[in-house]
Amino acid sequence: MGMAKDFLRAIVEEDLKAGKYSAVHTRFPPEPNGFPHIGHAKSIALNFGVARDYNGNCNLRMDDTDPTKEDPIYVEALKDAVEWLGFDWGEQIYYTSDYFPKLYEYAQELIKMGKAYVDSVDEETMRELRGTVTQAGKRSEYANRTIEENLELFERMKNGEFADGTHVLRAKIDMSAANMKMRDPLLYRIRNTAHYRVGDSWHIYPMYDFAHCLSDYTEGITHSLCTLEFENNRDIYDWVIETLGLPPPRPYQYEFARLALSYTVMSKRKLLELVQNGVVSGWDDPRMPTIAGYKRRCYTPESILNFCEQIGVAKANSMVDVAQLEAAIRDDLNSKVPRV
């Protein structure tokens, strides 16, 4: 096996042994809103590596649900990164945008069940009504709309009859939930912006929490591996699948520690600022912690994969010394570079 046995692989082995799934199916689902960085390399190595180790499949899926930030150039950069690291996504690339019609139908089902409603309060009011960690939230007055009203408004939202921010679709769960993510989370928002793949055909776009679990289910994913910041989102993941009554087999989400590298900025927003402000020559500037940047710096894919294997898969976040990455490239080049 490529990487040493970790807690995620132990879960996969137990599921296969118990007959929970006939085969392993993972996915790497980045949003195409920036060039992939060293943190993405860890996720690529893990998701594709688990699938390879257990003779399964790993989908490359573009989580393209925000038309204001996404671009085909980032799709190509993500494809290049996966290929350069030596992994194969199979016969096709998947796109969440391909599921928009089905996701819309699922949302309509939740409305018909009385489990979703169109809310029309402004963002500030919504934040105030959510409550705090120690104080329960309150539902807005719009939660009492009838099923017919909600269905009609939701369709009009889809057709582009309203401005951005005027309405959202929310799940009707529990405004006093200890996990604040479960306090009637957003399922859809209005974006009157052309999408790089589907153009102007949609004026509403699903939120991550709604699209993620249903895309996993649609593709037959078994193990949905996410970084720790999505730990509290797991309750929504399960709620959507269970409330819709989707038949098994169904996917389950598991979290692992994201990669934090000393002296290294990995926020896509901050990296984008460096590019836009001309501080660097581009996303592939050798000073950038992007995979394209490391490639230009003459790092080898083997060195990055070795680094990912060395740091392993943990349950708790920690800071990794950048010297460990530098040692990985040094060790790899030492074994390959001819001496004179």
Q: Which of 115, 258, 295, 296 is catalytic?
A: 258
Q: Which of 9, 158, 234, 268 is catalytic?
A: 268
* Predicted local distance difference test score (pLDDT) of residue 4: 55
Cα Rg, the chain, nearest whole Å: 22
Q: Write the burial class of residue 209 (CB in 10 Å: 0-12 exposed, 13-18 middle, 19+ buried).
A: buried
pLDDT digits (tens, 9 = 90+) for 97-136: 999 999 999 999 999 999 999 999 999 999 999 999 999 9
CA 290 to chain centre: 18
Ramachandran class of 63: left when φ > 0, alpha when ψ lies in -120 to 50, beta otherwise: beta
Q: What is the mean pLDDT of residues 278-294?
A: 97
Q: What is the mean pLDDT of residues 140-155?
A: 98
DSSP 184-208: S-EEEEE--S-BTTTBTS-SEEE-H
Q: Write the burial class of residue 313 (CB in 10 Å: 0-12 exposed, 13-18 middle, 19+ buried).
A: buried
* Predicted local distance difference test score (pLDDT) of residue 1: 44
105 is known as an active-site residue: no
Q: Which residue has the higher pLDDT, 3 or 141?
A: 141
What is the 3 state secondary structure string of 124-183?
HHHHHHCCCCCCCCCCCHHHHCCHHHHHHHHHHHHCCCCCCCCCEEEECCCCCCCCHHHC
Mean pLDDT for the chain?
96
- The answer to whether 79 touches 93, Cβ cutoff 8 Å, is yes
Contacts of 94 (CB under 8 A, 6+ apart): 27, 59, 60, 61, 62, 215, 219
Report strand pairing: 204-206 vs 223-227: unpaired
Domain span(s) for CATH 3.90.800.10 in the chain? 99-206
Domain span(s) for CATH 3.40.50.620 in the chain? 22-92+209-334
52 is known as an active-site residue: no
Q: Is the pLDDT of residue 3 over 70?
A: no
Q: Which of 31, 149, 231, 302 is catalytic?
A: 31
Q: Is the pLDDT of residue 79 over 90?
A: yes
Q: Write the burial class of residue 36 (CB in 10 Å: 0-12 exposed, 13-18 middle, 19+ buried).
A: buried
Q: Is the pLDDT of residue 238 over 80?
A: yes
Q: What is the mean pLDDT of residues 77-101?
A: 98
* Per-residue tokens: 58: 């790993």
pLDDT digits (tens, 9 = 90+) for 175-190: 999 999 999 999 999 9
For the segment(s) 22-92+209-334, the CATH number from 3.40.50.720, 1.10.3720.10, 3.40.50.880, 3.40.50.620 is: 3.40.50.620
Alpha helices in the chain (DSSP H): 7-17, 38-53, 72-84, 100-112, 123-129, 147-158, 208-218, 234-243, 268-276, 291-296, 301-311, 322-334
Q: Write the burial class of residue 243 (CB in 10 Å: 0-12 exposed, 13-18 middle, 19+ buried).
A: middle
31 is known as an active-site residue: yes
Q: What is the mean pLDDT of residues 245-264?
A: 96
CA 277 to chain centre: 27
Ramachandran class of 131: left when φ > 0, alpha when ψ lies in -120 to 50, beta otherwise: left
CA dihedral 63, 285, 258, 185 (to 10 degrees): -40
CATH topology of domain 99-206: Glutamyl-tRNA Synthetase; domain 3 (3.90.800)
* Predicted local distance difference test score (pLDDT) of residue 339: 82
pLDDT digits (tens, 9 = 90+) for 17-31: 999 999 999 999 999
* 290: helix, strand or coil: strand
Counting residues of the chain whose pLDDT is more than 70, the rounded percentage is: 99
Q: Is the pLDDT of residue 2 over 80?
A: no
User: Is the bond preceding residue 32 a cis peptide, omega within 30 degrees?
Assistant: no
Counting residues of the chain whose pLDDT is more than 90, the rounded percentage is: 96
Ramachandran class of 278: left when φ > 0, alpha when ψ lies in -120 to 50, beta otherwise: left
* Predicted local distance difference test score (pLDDT) of residue 33: 96
Q: Is the pLDDT of residue 77 over 70?
A: yes
* Predicted local distance difference test score (pLDDT) of residue 166: 98
